Amino acid sequence: IRWTEGRGWHDAQLTPYAPLSIDPANMTLHYAQEIFEGLKAYRRPDGSVVTFRPDANAERFRTSARRLAMPELPVETFVAACDALVQQDKAWVPAHGGESSLYLRPFMIAAEVGLGVRPANEYLFIVIASPAGPYFPGGVKPVSVWLSEDYVRAVPGGMGFAKTGGNYAASLLAQAEAARKGCDQVVWLDALEHKWVEEMGGMNLYFVYGDRIVTPELTGSLLAGITRDSLLSVAKDLGYTSEEGRISTEQWRRDAESGALTEVFACGTAAVITPVGFVKSTGGEWAQGDGEPGKVTMALRKALLDIQTGAAEDVHGWTHELA
């Protein structure tokens, strides 16, 4: 779907996957006006196909568009485009059972040609899809994390809450540093004090204190994950208390070592939930838990995945049947 100034959204098309032809002076290539989303289509036990909270992705896409000075795509158009692609590619949605899905990647780029630094006057909204296997083919395994102190992902007033490629470009070096330190993932801290835990490279974090789960509050410099938001409710369904709060790195270490902090996990569309088992930082390292995925972590993971795949009743009305 194309957007042109003065004309709005027009020319929706469903076409075979093919390379785009891009002018070397396309403004996206120079000034990075780009935003994207990620969501999954799952096959239910009866063979029908659903997506999970596409309206929430559509709303976040509008929020990202505003920050990047791009036009806001109507929620219905976003959802209709995803529906049309999944209908077309239905045969590629894996069978129910397991955790396989059809992953959808909606995105928008500037389509104007020119080198002036200003919002473009033309944009392209595109959705592509690809089958995705289970994130943990060998079973869920805790990951190790590196607390990044040399780099920050986002600053107050910046675009950390937007899902834009630039945020991911900024994270690649820190992710490589985490790998050099022997860790699977980078954890971002706040930009001002380097003290408050924000999120992981591509996932939000949750801290489990017995039957109370806490996730870092949305400060504006982390992404408002849809999995994160869903878990605030799913936790209550399972009888836990869930809340948003602030967790410092000192508190993480102290509470992990005292045993008060029973589990930590990360969550996002890709892996649903990933346990965190080991933490490393310039100030030292510590084990989080006993090396096995925690009970609360796995209970939440199953409950959410069951809703997403249609194995359990969806009391929240989150699953979306294709139009």
The C-alpha atoms of residue 320 and residue 4 are separated, in whole angstroms, by 30
Query: Closest approach of Cβ 230 to ligand PMP, in Å?
Result: 8
Span of 81-89, 124-132, 141-149, 196-204 interacting with ligand PMP by CB under 6 A = 196-204
Span of 24-32, 74-82, 197-205, 250-258 interacting with ligand PMP by CB under 6 A = 197-205
224 or 238: CB nearest ligand PMP: 224
The answer to the question of residue 35 lying near ligand PMP (CB under 6 A) is no
Span of 70-78, 205-213, 223-231, 245-253 interacting with ligand PMP by CB under 6 A = 223-231
CA torsion sign for 246, 200, 225, 293 is: negative
Provide the total of helices (H) and of strands (E) in the chain, helices listed first: 7, 17
224 or 299: CB nearest ligand PMP: 224
Run of H or E including 34: strand 34-36
* 6: region left, alpha or beta (phi > 0 left; psi from -120 to 50 alpha): left
The answer to the question of residue 189 lying near ligand PMP (CB under 6 A) is no
Cα 259–Cα 263–Cα 268 angle in degrees, nearest 5: 160
Query: Closest approach of Cβ 277 to ligand PMP, in Å?
Result: 19
Span of 7-15, 80-88, 201-209, 241-249 interacting with ligand PMP by CB under 6 A = 201-209
The answer to the question of residue 202 lying near ligand PMP (CB under 6 A) is yes
Question: How much of the chain is helix, strand and coil, in % rounded to 5?
Answer: 25, 30, 45
Query: Closest approach of Cβ 203 to ligand PMP, in Å?
Result: 5
The answer to the question of residue 38 lying near ligand PMP (CB under 6 A) is yes
Q: Are 222 and 161 in contact (CB under 8 A)?
A: yes
Instruction: Say which residues have a Cβ less than 8 Å from residue 20's Cβ, sequence separation at least 6.
Output: none
The C-alpha atoms of residue 120 and residue 190 are separated, in whole angstroms, by 31
Residues in the chain: 323
The answer to the question of residue 203 lying near ligand PMP (CB under 6 A) is yes
Span of 94-102, 225-233, 250-258, 281-289 interacting with ligand PMP by CB under 6 A = 225-233
3-state secondary structure of 204: strand
Q: Are 39 and 269 in contact (CB under 8 A)?
A: yes
For residues 264 to 293, the per-residue mask of contacts with ligand PMP, x marking binding by CB under 6 A and - elsewhere, is: ----xx------------------------
3 or 161: CB nearest ligand PMP: 161
Which chain residues interact with ligand PMP by CB under 6 A? Answer: 38, 199, 202-204, 223, 225-228, 268-269
